[in-house]
Chain A
Amino acid sequence: MKPDLTFSEQVSDLSHQNVRRCYYCLRCTAGCPAAYAMEYTPAQILRLVQLGQKDTLLSSSAIWLCIGCETCGTRCPNEIHAGAVIDALRQLAIAEGVAPAEAKVFKLHKAFLDSIRTWGRLHELTMLMEYKLASLDLFSDLDMGLDMFIKGKIHPLPKRIKGVDEVKKLFEMRD
Chain B
Amino acid sequence: MTTRYAFYPGCTLHSTGVEFGASTDLVCHVLDVDLVEIPDWNCCGASSAHSIDETLFLALPARNIAQAQQVGLDDPASSSELSLAIPCAACYSRLAAADLALRQDEAFRARMESALDFEYQARVRPRNLLDIMANDFSQEVLRAKVLKPLEGLKVVTYYGCLLIRPPQYTQHWDDPEHPQTMDHIVELMGAEAVPWSYGVDCCGGSLTLNRSDVVVHLVDGLAQAAHEAGADAFVTACPMCMANVDGRQLYRGGPPLPRPPKPDYEPLPIFYFTELMALAYGQPMKKVLARHLVDPRPLLKRLGLV
Contacts and interface: CB of A to CB of B under 8 A. Distances in A.
Q: A and B from one assembly? A: yes
Given A68-B51, A140-B255, A174-B53, A108 B209 contact: yes
B166 interface: yes
A65 B181 CA distance: 30
Nearest to A131: B209
A173 B53 contact: no
Contacts of B43: 115-116, 120-122
A97 to B, nearest CB: 14
Interface string A128-157: 100100010101110110011001111100
Contact of A140 (B49, B218, B256, B291): B256
Contacts, number: 183
A139 B55 contact: no
A102 B211 contact: yes
A81 interface: yes
Given A70-B161, A140-B257, A173-B111, A34 B214 contact: yes
A5 interface: no
Interface string B12-34: 10111010000000000000000
Contacts of B115: 166, 169-170, 173
B11 A121 contact: yes
Interface in B103-136: 111, 115-116
Nearest to A104: B210
Interface residue tally of chain A, by bracket?
Answer: 35 or more
Which applies to chain A's interface (DSSP): helix, strand, loop or mixed?
helix
Nearest to A139: B255
B55 A173 contact: yes
Given A67-B202, A112-B48, A73 B166 contact: yes
Contacts of A122: 11-12, 43, 46
B210 A124 contact: no
6 contacts: A74-B167, A122-B46, A148-B247, A166-B63, A170-B116, A173-B115
Interface of A: 14, 33-34, 36-37, 65, 67-71, 73-74, 81, 87-88, 90-91, 94, 102, 104-110, 112-113, 115-116, 120-122, 124, 128, 131, 135, 137, 139-141, 143-144, 147-148, 151-155, 161-163, 166-167, 169-171, 173-174
Interface of B: 11-12, 14-16, 18, 40-43, 45-57, 59-60, 63, 67, 111, 115-116, 160-162, 165-167, 176-177, 200-202, 204-207, 209-214, 217-218, 247, 250-251, 253-257, 290-293
